[in-house]
Amino acid sequence: MSDAIEINGLTKDFRIGMRGYKLRAVEDLWLKIADNEIFGLLGPNGCGKSTTMKVILGLLEPTVGSCQIYGVPSTSVRSRRDVGFLPEAPYFYRYLSGRELVRFYAKMCGVPKDEIGDRTEDVLKLVAMDEAAHRRVGTYSKGMLQRIGIAQAVVHDPRLVILDEPTAGVDPIGSAAIADMIRSLKERKKTVLLCSHLLAQVEGICDRVGIMNRGKLVLEGSVDELLEKKDMRSLVVEHFPASAEAEVRAVLEKHGAKLASVEAPRISLDRLFLQQTRDSDQLHESEKEEA
Amino acid sequence: MSGGSLNRITTIARNTFLEALRQKFINVLVILAVALILSANFFRQFDFGSSELKFITDFGMGSILFFGSILSIVATAQLFFSEIENRTALTILAKPVYRWEFIAGKYLGIFALLTVFTMLMIGLLAGMLSWREGALMERYPDDFAEGRLVSYGGLFAYGVLELLRFGIIAAITMFIASFSNTNLYTVIVSFFVFVICQLQYVARDGWNDIGNPLLRGMVWVMALLFPNFQMFNVAELMIFPGEQTLAAASAWGIFGYGIVYIIAFNALAVLAFRGREI
- Partner-chain residue, chosen from B18, B22, B90, that has the shortest CB–CB distance to A59: B90
Beta-carbon separation of A54 and B7 below 8 A = no
What ranges do the domains of chain A cover? 5-227, 232-291
Beta-carbon separation of B277 and A81 below 8 A = no
d(CA B44, CA B94): 58
d(CA A179, CA A193): 13
pLDDT of residue B2: 54
d(CA A11, CA A64): 5
CATH code matching the domain that covers A5-227, chosen among 3.90.1150.10, 3.40.50.300, 3.30.365.10, 3.30.70.100: 3.40.50.300
Interface test with B, best of A50, A108, A148 (most B CBs within 10 A): A108
Q: Tell which phi-psi region holds residue A181, choosing left (phi > 0), alpha (psi between -120 and 50) or beta.
A: alpha
Q: Tell which phi-psi region holds residue A280, choosing left (phi > 0), alpha (psi between -120 and 50) or beta.
A: alpha
pLDDT of residue A63: 93
At residue B113 the predicted structure's pLDDT band, cuts being 50, 70 and 90, is very high
Amino acid, single-letter form, for residue A16: I
Which residues, including other chains, have CB under 8 Å from residue B35's CB and lie 6 or more apart?
A: none
- Closest chain A residue to B93 measured between Cα atoms? A59
Beta-carbon separation of A110 and B91 below 8 A = no
Per the CB < 8 A criterion, the answer to whether A156 and A126 are in contact is: no
Give chain B positions within 8 Å (CB) of A55: none
d(CA A278, CA A173): 9
Beta-carbon separation of A105 and B95 below 8 A = yes
pLDDT of residue B74: 95
Could you tell me how many CB contacts below 8 A there are between chain A and chain B? 63
How does pLDDT run across B134-177, given as a tens digit for each residue? 888 888 888 777 778 889 999 999 999 999 999 999 999 999 99
Smallest Cα distance from A259 to chain B, Å: 53
pTM over 0.95: no
Q: Is the dihedral of CA B174, B179, B182, B184 positive or negative?
A: negative
Task: Mark out the alpha helices in chain B (DSSP H runs).
Answer: 3-21, 24-38, 52-85, 88-93, 99-139, 152-179, 183-207, 213-225, 235-239, 248-274
- Partner-chain residue, chosen from B11, B86, B94, that has the shortest CB–CB distance to A59: B94
pLDDT of residue A162: 95
Distance of CA A239 to the CA centre of its chain: 38
How many domains does one find in chain B? Answer: 1
Which residues, including other chains, have CB under 8 Å from residue A72's CB and lie 6 or more apart?
A: A78, A79, A82
- Closest chain A residue to B274 measured between Cα atoms? A59
Range of the domain at B211: 3-274
C-alpha distances in Å from residue A2, one per residue of A68, A69, A76? 9, 9, 17
Q: Is the dihedral of CA A110, A114, A115, A117 positive or negative?
A: positive
Q: Is the pLDDT of residue B102 over 70?
A: yes
Return contacts of A224-227, CB within 8 angstroms, 24+ apart: A227/A203
Mean pLDDT for chain B overall: 89
**Residues, chain A:** 291
d(CA A101, CA A148): 8
pLDDT of residue B257: 95
CA Rg value for chain B: 21
How does pLDDT run across B251-272, given as a tens digit for each residue? 999 999 999 999 999 999 999 9
- Partner-chain residue, chosen from B11, B94, B277, that has the shortest CB–CB distance to A80: B94
Per-residue pLDDT of chain A (291 residues; tens, 9 = 90+): 689 999 999 999 998 877 778 889 999 999 999 999 999 999 888 899 989 999 999 999 999 999 999 999 999 999 999 999 998 877 888 889 999 999 999 999 999 999 999 999 999 998 889 999 999 999 998 889 999 999 999 999 999 999 998 888 788 888 888 898 899 999 999 999 998 877 877 888 999 999 999 999 999 999 888 877 778 888 888 888 888 888 899 999 999 999 888 888 888 777 777 788 777 777 777 777 776
